[in-house]
Amino acid sequence: MSLIYRLASRNLLHDRLRFVATVVGIVFSILLVTVQLGLYLGFGRIVTTMIDHASADLWIMPPGTKCFEDPSTLDERTRFQALSINGVAQAAPVVIGYAEWRIAAGGTFPVFIVGSDLREGGLLPWNLVEGSLEALAIPGAVAVDRSYFDRLGVEGIGANAEIRGQKVEVRAVTSGIRSFTTTPYVFTTLDRARAFTGTAANKATYFLVRVAPGADVESVRHRLKANLSDVDVLTAAEFRDRSRSFWLFGTGAGFALFAGALLGMIVGTVIVAQTLYSSTKDHINEFATLRAIGSSGIYIHKVIICQALISAVIGFCLAAGIGLLVVAATADTALPIVMTPTLTLVLLFLTLVMCVVSAVAAILQVMRIDPVMVFTR
Amino acid sequence: MTEPVIEVVDVVKWLGKGAAQVQALKGVSLALRGGELTLLMGPSGSGKTTLLSILGCMLTPTHGTVRMRGRSTEGAGPEALAKLRREHVGFVFQSYHLFPTLTATDNVRLALDVRGENSARAVGKASDALAIVGLAHKRDAFPLELSGGEQQRVAIARAIVGQPSAVLADEPTAALDGENGNAIMALLAEIAKDSSRGVLVVAHDARILRFADRVVHIEDGCIVGDRRGDAALENDQTDCAVPS
């Protein structure tokens, strides 16, 4: 085995305090990038959670709808027009909107109403842990997520509150349906959702289309667009992309997350560069000796890059370990940090690139080494 | 007489720039031959190290020719000169320049590693070189665990492990006591017995003259004496005019 690795590792470990400082710098840098990119992924997922759980091949929505939470409405006639089109098996109306949840003990809290027809489905609550979907048919019945119990002032099934002056009762409880805003989702029937949000009886926010068995989704969409006026018809994937695009880039949140990640990279690069540079200065006699005994420039560059890569791998492993703890700690929060195998590989690649780029200053320094200096030191 | 392993012909070297420029060598010619130990002696600032650096392809001359095994080095860039050094020259430095974080074996192996020789055979060659300098039992020792004389022996093992054409030693005994200095010189003299290899030792200390097959005196950038064997040359010739 070449001595390059041995030289590099011993150069690094020669000053252990500096090495520890370097690794800590890399860990924090990569952790910052992990959190930012993990938040980006988590944000991207959570803003489309409703779209992901809807049973729809196509979404009919008011033109220019930017995201699921956009509360513009369509006329019920559109639904019947859609149902008359060849290949459309179902067009389930969904009504959404903001409302005020009045707590029995006093006080109000904003909630986001999601209403669907219980028979047709569309967008019904999932991950039920108490109660049942059928129970939502009971007058005033709603489903809420247990993570919002405190905020909504309820303790579970049977708890009462008021929305828009109408009494509601918790009849089903879900787990893990969290909003990335602070506004809890409240699921109920279509009619009740209209009543809670002040939506007219002949209006709905979306019509969720299921195509007939054997029908081609793209062809059905084409016919829907041709026959319906003043609507957008999107596949679930397109609506997901549009929602993500709006929340991540329309609001600037995505840019902020990327800027944070970039900042982490810059900080990490500077820390590693500074360490490698000072380490190279400390070992300048050794590099001059290498040059004097005939080593090529590439051999010396390999030693320095090997130092950078060793720092990168150790720093990355520690950062990944801490990152997994952070991911676990945020799993049940409104905005979980997501770590995927792809993101892990991207982070490893970024760490390696960051450390190799950091080696440039040190390499430039050794390129100026005059081997004759070994006679004077 | 054997073919020179390294030869410089009419070498002139200017060092520095502008007003600080000095002529370190003023037309020096010297051929280093295999099978002999040459001592290069002269006062401080006489040009010994500059000549050693040019012979060892660390510096290029301002004018003149350097031939390594008969081939001119003219026009060679830094990487080509490095290649010549690793293939043809072994260096021994006054302050050893061993790597403190590597064992004696690894320090010796380094001279092979930079050539791309990093197999198990390289470890064997390093061990053999350490045995030649009498340090087979210290192969796993780190430099700080060795005495000055032992460190210089490791440096000599590093210089010879690649079977170079020439071993160039810059005041190898300067940091050693008399006993260790003599031992190092005896070792270098032994190495010089190989007819394929020339050894040049830059030295101040006249006590080591007895180890030399040839003594070259340099002063003010000119060779002013060149004697072989026990007989000093009657007319020490000079390559250039020495200022009075």
Answer yes or no: is A236 within a domain. no
Positions in chain B whose pLDDT score sits under 50: 231-236, 241-244
In-domain check, residue B211: yes
State the residue range of the domain holding B133. Answer: 4-228
Identify whether residues A116 and A190 lie together within a single domain: yes
Task: Report the chain A residue with the minimal C-alpha distance to residue B89.
Answer: A293
User: Does A20 share its domain with A69?
Assistant: no
Tokens of A330: 């945020």
Same domain, residue pair A257 and A328: yes
Domains: count for chain A: 2
**Whole-number Å distance between alpha carbons of A162 and A102:** 5
Q: Is residue A91 part of a domain?
A: yes
What is the reported pLDDT for B242?
44
Instruction: For chain A, 377 residues long, give each residue's pLDDT as a single digit of tens.
Output: 789 999 999 888 888 888 898 888 888 888 888 888 888 888 888 888 899 998 889 999 999 899 888 888 999 999 999 999 999 999 999 999 999 999 877 888 999 999 999 888 788 999 999 998 899 999 999 999 998 988 888 888 998 899 988 999 999 999 988 887 778 999 999 999 999 999 999 999 999 999 999 999 999 999 999 999 889 999 999 999 999 889 888 888 888 888 888 888 888 888 888 877 887 888 888 889 999 999 999 999 999 899 889 988 999 999 999 999 999 998 877 788 888 999 899 989 988 888 888 888 888 888 888 888 887 76
Chain B residues 31-90 with a CB less than 8 Å from chain A: 49, 52-53, 56, 58-59, 78-79, 82-87, 89-90
Same domain, A199 and A330: no
Q: What is the CATH number of the domain that holds B98?
A: 3.40.50.300
Decide if A296 and B79 are in contact by the 8 Å CB cutoff. Answer: yes
With respect to residue B242, please indicate whether it lies within any of the assigned structural domains.
no
Asked if residue B17 belongs to a domain, the reply is: yes
Report whether A206 contacts A94 (CB < 8 A): yes
Q: Is A10 an interface residue toward B (CB < 8 Å)?
A: yes
B125 CB within 8 Å of a chain A CB: no
What is the DSSP track for A74-136? EEHHHHHHHHTSTTEEEEEEEEEEEEEEEETTS-EEEEEEEEEBTTTBSS---SEEEE-SGGG
Is the residue at A274 inside a domain?
Answer: yes
- A312 and A210 assigned to the same domain: no
Decide which of A200, A230, A260 is a domain's last residue: A230
Same domain for A170 and A212, yes or no, is: yes
Contact call for A291 and B82, based on CB within 8 A = yes
Residue A358 has a CB neighbour count (10 Å cut-off) of: 27
* CA-based nearest residue in chain A for residue B88: A294
Do A183 and A37 share a structural domain?
A: no
Distance from CA of B74 to the nearest CA of A (A): 18
Report the complex ipTM.
0.89
| Domain coverage including residue A219 | 63-230
Q: In this predicted structure, what is the pLDDT of residue A283?
A: 82
What's the number of domains chain B is made of?
A: 1
* Binary contact (B106, A295; C-beta < 8 A): no
> In the structure encoding, which two tokens stand for residue B214, read together?
């040839």
Q: Both A212 and A69 in a single domain? A: yes
Q: Is residue B161 part of a domain?
A: yes
pLDDT score of B240: 60
Distance of CA A123 to the CA centre of its chain: 22
A312, A351: one domain:
yes
B220 part of a folded domain: yes
Claim to verify: residue A184 and residue A257 sit in the same structural domain: no
Residue A246 lies in a domain: no
For residue B1, the model assigns a pLDDT of: 58
